[in-house]
Amino acid sequence: MPEETPAVAPDYHYPPMDQRKVIGTRVSRLDGIAKSTGAAKYNSDITPKDLLFAVLVTSPYAHARVKSVDTGAAAKLKGVTAVRTILDAGKEVQWEGQEVAVVAAVTEEIARDAARLIQVDYEVLPHLVREDDLDKAGANAKPAGESVTGDPDQAFKDADVVSEGVYGIPVITHCCLEPHGLAVAWNGDHVDYWPSTQGVSDAAADLGRALTVPAANIHVEMQYIGGGFGSKFQAEAFGVQCAQLSRASGGRPVRLFLDRSTELLIAGNRPSGYGKIKMAAKKDGTITAWQSQTWSTGGLGGGGFGAELFPYVYHQVPNRRVNHTAVSTNCGSARAWRAPNHPQASFLTCSALEDLAAKLNMDPLDFFLMNAGYTARAEAYKAQLQKAAELMEWKKNWHPRGEGSGVVRRGLGLGVSTWGGAGHGSKCLTTIHPDGTVVVELGSQDLGTGTRTIIAMVAAETLGLPVSAIQVNIGDNKYPQSGASGGSTTVGGVSASTRKSSVNAVEKLFAQVAPSLGTTPDKLEAAEGTIRVKGDPSKSLSWKAACNKLGVSKISELGENEPRRAAREGLNTGGVAGVQMADVSVDTETGVVRMNRMVAVHDCGLVINPKTAESQVMGACIMSVCAALSEERVMDQQTGRMLNADMEFYKLAGIGDIGEIIVHMDITPENDKRGVIGLGEPPTIPGIVSIANAVANAIGVRVGRVPLTPDRVLAALERRTA
Amino acid sequence: MSEKKPTSTPPSKESGFSRRGFLTSVGVTGGALTTGILTTEAPARAAAPTAVGPGPVPFTLTINGKPYKVSLEPRTTLCDALRNHLEFTASKRVCDRGTCGACTVIVDGKAVYSCTVLAIDAQGRKIETLEGISTPEHPHPVSQAFVNNDAQQCGYCTPGFVVAAKAFLDHNPNPTYEDVKHGLGGNLCRCGTYVGVRKAVLEAAKQRHGGTNA
């Protein structure tokens, strides 16, 4: 009988590389036209009927006790529908921008007026908002304990060359262009929730807990998100309050998206990373010892770097001493920021490695290559270093540190990365309708990485159809549960669940149509828009004719990616390497650093869509240019405030600031066999240090602190000539 | 240490001078207080300023060739009028003070940051938003080129970029690569799509005007 379940589990493996029709081709993102015509509606764009606007009152102090909150005048203002105090008298604010009260009104202008009428009385308390000078951190500095491997003291004694340096990378914010925010309507026992979130399937449970509303009663929808980068997972304190405002306003929808300064103050940031680092080597360049005292802040909770991070990638240096101190500051809390802790660890480690190479009078390329045995994937790093060097014409363009003449000096630098990126838990439902329509549904989200497109590509490949034949439904918690987008886990998760649900569905279809083709289901394949007998394409039915055999019953099959089983199934794994190189020009009179080129070489297993994969890497390189040259949260210890909570002085690179970017995806049969691996995070890791190393190479002196602003470059040059 | 403060925002951004605070606190028509590109035409209209507001004022905006009657407070920016009151949401509010370009619209043929223009000052002017320039059914060549060259990721800066690129190409039909880097310096992207944007603008130039400089 056709409906019999096959005795063995279906083979979910992807077809061999050379037999793929869709996977591996360059497909334009499916929502591209919606975005580039403005038709794409983000949740900050929606204006449901009777929409109210909410505006926050936030703390101007980094640390204070709320003495009183008077919302009387605000509540009386015409047009105001509800006011809520978030921090009652007696509670403490712990960072500038923390939410104190919130008001909803019929227009945003009235809500702003009402917010200004709310009187908050504070008792100001002492604060610490800077951690760059560890000596000034006092009791806010909490050492995490020492980790020692081998005998670092003896190794430093025996060393031919010892190099020491102090390096620092500041806190940066996510600066999502669509601020954090939501629209929400709480009517009776039902909540409609339109957040800007990286986790559509998880959002209902998160908000439900805070409201004590069953998650089943919360409908979440988000078709587009204007940037998250790791900062948009939770229902915010202000988000929960907006739901309460809605309920207090008779269930009218309430919308609140943070203003730019509050976005930069409270909506997430990346912890800083400072370090005093000492390294030792033999004359031939073999590294023998590592010692690091690092410190970092991620706000009140401090910033933690595990000992396993150091030295980064070149971890198996035999003798090492690692110390870390977390510094608690009165600043907005850190959140995951593309590859948490890795850009900092790469910056600190690769800066020290490059300084050691310079002291050894070695080309850092040779130095990184010869020590690759200390990495977990020596062959991968060697191959990637060589490929990047070839694309950068490293051997032709590199010169020993500081060599060269003239006002504008050119230099090259490099950095390395590693990341996991195995797929998250994900369920997908593939439905084949009797008219041939195919719908693929997941409670996932497309952060701009191209998730929609790769889902359609995997389904199309599996069903032997063009991408345009697949309807992808995501962005709604009515679809099967799929993981939040963090840790570069989405592409592995959704590709595997889509592959499995689509294989399951097409096998059901085979069972239905096999008799009419006079064969058994196992002899059939879906290819080129037909269901046909393997090896005998003359025996075939068009896709539509095959689906017509379903009568009135559609096929709906689930597929699930279970992280523990994924590697065995061969659909996705984790673990990637990456190498980036930078070519810069430094004006030694003005201190201005200009990007000439970046080269990025990354592997991520099986690459579904090289077009969007390359975009991920290019974007990450550009983010690295921002962080290396201009981007920094500047805190003022005197006032406890952020001095650049805006986009004039919190500086992102513009279209003319980035030089040229060359991306090489390491697509090989060997990498392909590993299955799909996430790519969102790894390319954000090695770029910053490659630029910092290029500047050191150009001007002959290390600028220890990024961003490499003209004042810091000039100060370093002065030290050189002093 | 205790410090008594009468309001919630003593040392806040609201208390100091800022372009934004200035704009949102005044309600005078006549163009004398407009910023940026619009000021070039201001003197002729500045002769007899009329005080209006506070409170909503009825007026008409001409958007994508059609009149829209609105009743808005004079302090309402064109960006907020389009987004909150009229559902022209292609124009995004990001920096809200004339830095990032995500809210770019075309006013009388010139690219303008709609967050730095008061809606009431846009009366009588020809406002073009992305919705009027490009639709999914009939995408403008710039929109199509953005797709072809993957010049977008999250897409939140994209509408502003497309409008800015359209206005740029209207004035510079045959730009060089260097021209594009200068001409679109007024728009910021966080995901990092500039490489695609550069290619897209050059491709659109070829498409629209047969330009050959690349």
Tens digits of residue pLDDT in A263-317? 999 999 999 999 999 999 999 999 999 999 999 999 998 888 999 999 999 999 9
Tens digits of residue pLDDT in B113-145? 999 999 999 999 999 999 999 999 999 999 999
The mean predicted confidence, pLDDT, of chain A is 96
pLDDT of B208 reads 78
Q: How confident is the model at residue B4 (pLDDT cuts 50, 70, 90)?
A: very low
Q: Specify the domain boundaries for CATH 3.30.365.10 within chain A.
A: 17-39+423-565, 334-421+574-721
Whether residue B130 lies within 8 A of chain A, CB to CB, comes out as yes
**A671 Cα to chain B: minimum distance (Å):** 25
Residues of chain B with C-beta less than 8 angstroms from the C-beta of A178? 92, 94, 154, 156
Whether residue B123 lies within 8 A of chain A, CB to CB, comes out as no
What percentage of chain A reaches a pLDDT higher than 70? 99
For the cut 70, the answer to whether the pLDDT of residue B17 exceeds it is no
In the predicted model, what is the mean pLDDT of residues B60-74?
98
pLDDT of B210 reads 57
- Say whether domain A334-421+574-721 belongs to CATH 3.20.20.210: no
Integer Cα distance of A378 and A404 in angstroms: 33
Q: Is the full-model pTM beyond 0.90? A: yes
Integer Cα distance of B214 and B202 in angstroms: 6
pLDDT of B212 reads 45
Name the one residue in this structure whose structure tokens are 């890795």.
A342
Out of B2, B75, B182, whose CB is closest to A123? B2
In the predicted model, what is the mean pLDDT of residues B86-91?
96
In the predicted model, what is the mean pLDDT of residues A151-180?
98
pLDDT of A722 reads 57
Q: Which residue of A has its CA nearest to B201?
A: A655
Crossing angle, helix B194-209 and helix B141-148, to 10 degrees?
140
CA angle A198, A267, A242 (to 5 degrees): 80
Instruction: Please give the full DSSP string across A491-550, using - where no structure is assigned.
Output: HHHHHHHHHHHHHHHHHHHHHHHTGGGTS-GGGEEEETTEEEETTEEEEEEEHHHHHHTT
Q: How confident is the model at residue B53 (pLDDT cuts 50, 70, 90)?
A: confident
Residues of chain B with C-beta less than 8 angstroms from the C-beta of A580? none
Q: How confident is the model at residue B51 (pLDDT cuts 50, 70, 90)?
A: confident
CA A256 vs. chain centroid, Å, equals 24
**CATH topology classification for A52-126+180-257:** Aldehyde Oxidoreductase; domain 3 (3.90.1170)
For the cut 50, the answer to whether the pLDDT of residue B37 exceeds it is no
Integer Cα distance of A127 and A329 in angstroms: 7
Pairing of strands A287-296, A319-327: parallel
Q: How confident is the model at residue B33 (pLDDT cuts 50, 70, 90)?
A: very low
Q: Which residue of A has its CA nearest to B102?
A: A177
Tens digits of residue pLDDT in A582-592? 999 999 999 99
Residues 6+ away with beta carbon under 8 Å from A462: A498, A499, A502, A503, A506, A526
B154:A448 CB<8 A: yes
Q: Which residue of B has its CA nearest to A66?
A: B8
Residue B128 CB burial class (10 angstroms; 0-12, 13-18, ≥19): buried
Q: How confident is the model at residue B54 (pLDDT cuts 50, 70, 90)?
A: confident
In the DSSP assignment, the letter for residue B81 is I
Residues of chain B with C-beta less than 8 angstroms from the C-beta of A652? 188-190
For the cut 90, the answer to whether the pLDDT of residue B16 exceeds it is no
In the DSSP assignment, the letter for residue A138 is G
**B47 Cα to chain A: minimum distance (Å):** 29
For the cut 60, the answer to whether the pLDDT of residue A174 exceeds it is yes
Tens digits of residue pLDDT in A386-435? 999 999 999 999 999 999 999 999 999 999 999 999 999 999 999 999 99
**A652 Cα to chain B: minimum distance (Å):** 7
For the cut 70, the answer to whether the pLDDT of residue A5 exceeds it is no
A652:B181 CB<8 A: no
Tens digits of residue pLDDT in A77-113? 999 999 999 999 999 999 999 999 999 999 999 999 9
Residue A577 CB burial class (10 angstroms; 0-12, 13-18, ≥19): buried
B180:A655 CB<8 A: yes
A509-518, A547-556, B22-31: least confident range: B22-31
For the cut 70, the answer to whether the pLDDT of residue B48 exceeds it is no
A654:B185 CB<8 A: yes
Cβ–Cβ pairs < 8 A, chains A and B = 226
Out of B7, B140, B198, whose CB is closest to A655? B198
What percentage of chain A reaches a pLDDT higher than 90? 96
What token pair was written down for A41?
């509606």
**A215 Cα to chain B: minimum distance (Å):** 28
**A283 Cα to chain B: minimum distance (Å):** 42
**CATH superfamily, region B134-209:** [2Fe-2S]-binding domain (1.10.150.120)
Q: Specify the domain boundaries for CATH 1.10.150.120 within chain B.
A: 134-209
CA angle A473, A475, A481 (to 5 degrees): 85
pLDDT of A7 reads 52
Q: How confident is the model at residue B50 (pLDDT cuts 50, 70, 90)?
A: confident
pLDDT of B46 reads 53
Residues of chain B with C-beta less than 8 angstroms from the C-beta of A124? 1-3
B11:A60 CB<8 A: yes
Tens digits of residue pLDDT in A57-70? 999 999 999 999 99
CA dist B56 → A397, A424, B170 (Å): 64, 51, 36
Whether residue B9 lies within 8 A of chain A, CB to CB, comes out as yes
Integer Cα distance of A302 and A333 in angstroms: 9
**CATH topology classification for B19-129:** Ubiquitin-like (UB roll) (3.10.20)
Q: How confident is the model at residue A233 (pLDDT cuts 50, 70, 90)?
A: very high
Integer Cα distance of A177 and A278 in angstroms: 39
- Contact at 8 Å (CB) between A479 and A429? yes
For the cut 90, the answer to whether the pLDDT of residue A49 exceeds it is yes
In the predicted model, what is the mean pLDDT of residues A328-346?
97
In the predicted model, what is the mean pLDDT of residues A467-485?
98
Integer Cα distance of A294 and A153 in angstroms: 18
Most confident of A213-217, B9-13, B204-208: A213-217
- Contact at 8 Å (CB) between B160 and B98? no
B193:A260 CB<8 A: no
Out of A116, A121, A175, whose CB is closest to B4? A121
In the predicted model, what is the mean pLDDT of residues A128-139?
96
A639:B11 CB<8 A: yes
Out of A100, A109, A177, whose CB is closest to B190? A177
A301: three-class secondary structure by DSSP: coil
Residues of chain A with C-beta less than 8 angstroms from the C-beta of B135? 37, 39
**A224 Cα to chain B: minimum distance (Å):** 8
For the cut 50, the answer to whether the pLDDT of residue A695 exceeds it is yes
Produce one character per residue of B36-46: b if its CB has 16 or more CB atoms within 10 Å, e if not: ebbeeeeeeee
- Say whether domain A17-39+423-565 belongs to CATH 1.10.3720.10: no
For the cut 80, the answer to whether the pLDDT of residue B163 exceeds it is yes
Q: How confident is the model at residue B47 (pLDDT cuts 50, 70, 90)?
A: low
